[in-house]
Chain A
């Protein structure tokens, strides 16, 4: 088959991402508009909503990709875009731009499921896992464990019932008086904290399933802070650090234990950690230790591929070229069940 050049457009939430994927040469250009700080010790993905002005970003980003790759619009073979799930208004920008551009160029479009993009994105990095693998998607918006057996062959093994892990980091940081988004700062303070002074509950750790819940941790921290204040009047820095540590210990413990359970249940030996919280140092240390002990491989794709981006949409689109369709009429799917995707 001759090489195909796919333009990918992501606009489901806060980030506008555009990328070019060549089925022979791989990812050849990749641009993202975001205000998000790519912090080394990121506790959660907290994008700026101000960057949701996708309309102003999508054309310059496309031009930047083409220029970087030395290509023109005439070189494109297909355009992939995120059809859902996400914010209706944000999705419509990417969908209408992709369809209008493809219609003008006389090339087909491919609609992509945002989460499929995330699940396949680890395959863009080196070293990368091979099918099948378990994916732990853990960010400000998602906390899910999935079995990934092939393109379009996904099974949700478990997910959070309420708050995402990254969200729990940010909200707990706020409760502790740290400036929002405080997830990364909370992680830094946790490193200085004593892991043995306080113990916070591990929600659903002992449950037989792979569901998680992080909303109650917030309340547990609130109760602990009030208790400390009642006993000693104020929250000194050392105590705050100790609470940060107890909180991080609880989250990491749940994520590690549920990941181990997921690997066992799916009978797989590769774990991919995607999403901003995947950069958390303590989580990585704990997962690395478990991997060595239990004999599985763990992959951490670069953060640029873990957070929302256009590269994953271009790549997923390239895997779904056989589902390409004529550009023109289109809709978006703000809510879209991953399980309904056709296998490739």
Chain B
């Protein structure tokens, strides 16, 4: 299903996952909240790596599972990469002071958003990755006007079309 609120496709390998992340990066603007959905090993952190590299980050992209958040000050904006996997209780979201990270100058990517359901700011855009054979299927869904605008600007890379 491809319409103004949703686009989907297939990414055959890691290179295509990185390319999809880069395509997403080219379409976003500061203030956007993106949820990353998918099981362990689906490629959420790989996609984030492509996303950050396209925005000018050149260092490593460490998994935020243990630190819960890794922040990247980039030329255009600051990106915060959250991983709520270890949350046992959504209240930990407030305790950690994470609400302060969501501002008009930042883009927030959140892995395992369900772990802070009800407290987490709603997503403008949701990226779902699913293992399918050797590759992954993806669905990009817009949940707000901001997200719809961003979605309309995304050029899905050839390999993932």
Chain A residues with a Cβ under 8 A of chain B: 13, 46, 48-50, 52-53, 86-90, 140-141, 159-164, 167, 171, 174-175, 215, 218-219, 221-223, 226, 334-335
Are B63 and A50 in contact, CB atoms less than 8 angstroms apart? no
Taking the closest CB of chain A, its distance from the CB of B86, in whole angstroms, is: 6
Please report the C-alpha to C-alpha distance between residue A160 and residue B97 in the assembled complex, in whole angstroms. 27
Residues of A within 8 A of B67 (CB): 13, 86-87, 141
Please report the C-alpha to C-alpha distance between residue A226 and residue B46 in the assembled complex, in whole angstroms. 21
The 8 closest A-B CB pairs, nearest first, are: A141-B66, A89-B97, A222-B41, A163-B63, A218-B41, A219-B41, A161-B60, A171-B40
For the residues of B in contact with A, the DSSP-based class is loop
Partner-contacting stretch, out of B50-58, B87-95, B119-127, B137-145 = B87-95
Are A215 and B96 in contact, CB atoms less than 8 angstroms apart? no
Are B41 and A52 in contact, CB atoms less than 8 angstroms apart? no
Are A52 and B62 in contact, CB atoms less than 8 angstroms apart? no
Residues of A within 8 A of B89 (CB): 49-50
Are A52 and B96 in contact, CB atoms less than 8 angstroms apart? yes
- Residue from the list A52, A162, A175, A334 in contact with B95, Cβ < 8 A: A52
Taking the closest CB of chain B, its distance from the CB of A153, in whole angstroms, is: 23
- Residue from the list A89, A162, A334 in contact with B60, Cβ < 8 A: A162
Interface residues on chain B, number (Cβ under 8 Å)? 24
Are A49 and B63 in contact, CB atoms less than 8 angstroms apart? no
Question: Residue of A at shortest CB range from B115?
Answer: A49
Taking the closest CB of chain A, its distance from the CB of B106, in whole angstroms, is: 14
Taking the closest CB of chain B, its distance from the CB of A67, in whole angstroms, is: 28
B21-64 with Cβ < 8 A to chain A: 40-41, 45-46, 60-63
Taking the closest CB of chain A, its distance from the CB of B101, in whole angstroms, is: 9
Residues of B within 8 A of A226 (CB): 131
**Known pairs A13-B67, A167-B65; A49 contacts B41 (CB<8 A):** no
Question: Residue of B at shortest CB range from A143?
Answer: B62
Q: Does residue B68 face the partner (Cβ distance < 8 Å to A)?
A: yes
Question: Residue of B at shortest CB range from A47?
Answer: B86
Are B62 and A162 in contact, CB atoms less than 8 angstroms apart? yes
Number of A-B contacts (CB under 8 A): 70
Which of A46, A162, A174 has the largest number of chain B CB atoms within 10 A?
A162
Known contacts A49-B86, A219-B41, then 20 further A-B pairs from the complex at CB < 8 Å, ordered by chain A residue? A46-B86, A48-B88, A50-B92, A52-B96, A86-B67, A87-B68, A87-B96, A88-B97, A89-B95, A89-B96, A89-B97, A140-B65, A162-B61, A162-B63, A163-B63, A171-B41, A174-B40, A221-B41, A222-B41, A222-B131
Are A215 and B63 in contact, CB atoms less than 8 angstroms apart? yes
Residues of B within 8 A of A13 (CB): 66-67
Chain B residues with a Cβ under 8 A of chain A: 40-41, 45-46, 60-63, 65-69, 71, 86-89, 92, 95-97, 131, 134
Which of B41, B67, B71, B86 has the largest number of chain A CB atoms within 10 A?
B41
Are B95 and A53 in contact, CB atoms less than 8 angstroms apart? yes
Residues of A within 8 A of B61 (CB): 161-162
Which of B40, B66, B95 has the largest number of chain A CB atoms within 10 A?
B66
Please report the C-alpha to C-alpha distance between residue A163 and residue B63 in the assembled complex, in whole angstroms. 5
Please report the C-alpha to C-alpha distance between residue A227 and residue B67 in the assembled complex, in whole angstroms. 33
Please report the C-alpha to C-alpha distance between residue A251 and residue B69 in the assembled complex, in whole angstroms. 25
Residues of A within 8 A of B68 (CB): 87
- Residue from the list B40, B65, B66, B96 in contact with A175, Cβ < 8 A: B40
Question: Residue of A at shortest CB range from B73?
Answer: A335
Question: Residue of A at shortest CB range from B84?
Answer: A49
Please report the C-alpha to C-alpha distance between residue A193 and residue B65 in the assembled complex, in whole angstroms. 28
Please report the C-alpha to C-alpha distance between residue A53 and residue B95 in the assembled complex, in whole angstroms. 8
Please report the C-alpha to C-alpha distance between residue A221 and residue B65 in the assembled complex, in whole angstroms. 19
- Residue from the list A159, A164, A175 in contact with B63, Cβ < 8 A: A164
Residues of B within 8 A of A46 (CB): 86
Please report the C-alpha to C-alpha distance between residue A12 and residue B58 in the assembled complex, in whole angstroms. 26
- Residue from the list B65, B86, B97 in contact with A163, Cβ < 8 A: B65
> What are 28 residue pairs bridging A and B, where the CB atoms are less than 8 Å apart in the complex?
A46-B86, A49-B89, A49-B92, A50-B92, A52-B92, A52-B95, A86-B67, A87-B67, A87-B68, A89-B96, A141-B66, A161-B61, A162-B45, A162-B60, A162-B62, A163-B62, A164-B62, A167-B65, A171-B40, A171-B41, A171-B65, A175-B41, A218-B40, A218-B41, A219-B41, A221-B41, A222-B131, A335-B71
